[in-house]
């Protein structure tokens, strides 16, 4: 077993107001914590990774294939591999949650 203390993890601001913390990384999956400030957006992107997530706090909106999904505290979601998606926090409080990626994913290429 490998323990990954929160204090040992680096948080990056991938785009304005979108903070990602890479947590545990295994051979077949990885865990990432996210914090999205009010008004911030994750730009449309896709990746080879299947992505499942869980929202701990706040509400944000996913846009997938022209459809809108409002995700709030206690909700979880699945984004299939290769599916273009984006997310926005149009609320007044930060959104906090966890994403799991398989295969493992490092910080996204859209952070540039």
The domain spanning residue 55 has which CATH number?
Answer: 2.60.120.10
* Ramachandran angles phi, psi of 66, nearest 5°: 80, 0
CB-CB contact of 104 with 26 (8 Å): yes
Residue 98 inside a domain? The answer is: yes
Which domain range does residue 52 map to? 23-29+43-102
The runs of H, that is alpha helices, within 12-105 are none
- Whose structure tokens read 């929202």? 55
Tens digit of pLDDT per residue, the chain (112 long)?
999 999 999 999 999 999 999 999 999 999 999 999 999 999 999 999 999 999 999 999 999 988 999 999 999 999 999 999 999 999 999 999 999 999 998 766 554 4
Structural domains in the chain (count): 1
Tell me the pTM: 0.90
Residue 36 inside a domain? The answer is: no
Residue 77 inside a domain? The answer is: yes
Residue 13 inside a domain? The answer is: no
Sheet of 76-79: strands edge to edge?
11-15, 18-25, 30-36, 95-102, 50-57, 76-79
């Amino acid at each position: 077993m490998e323990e990954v203390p929160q204090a040992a993890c680096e948080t990056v601001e991938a785009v304005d107001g979108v903070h990602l913390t890479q947590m545990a990384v295994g051979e077949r999956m990885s865990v990432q914590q996210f914090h999205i400030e009010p008004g911030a957006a994750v730009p449309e992107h896709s990746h080879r990774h299947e992505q499942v997530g869980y929202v701990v706090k706040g509400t944000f909106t996913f846009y997938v294939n022209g459809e809108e999904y409002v995700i709030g505290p206690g909700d979880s979601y699945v984004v299939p591999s290769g599916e273009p998606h984006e997310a926005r926090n149009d609320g007044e409080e930060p959104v906090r949650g966890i994403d799991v990626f398989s295969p493992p994913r490092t910080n996204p290429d859209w952070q540039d």
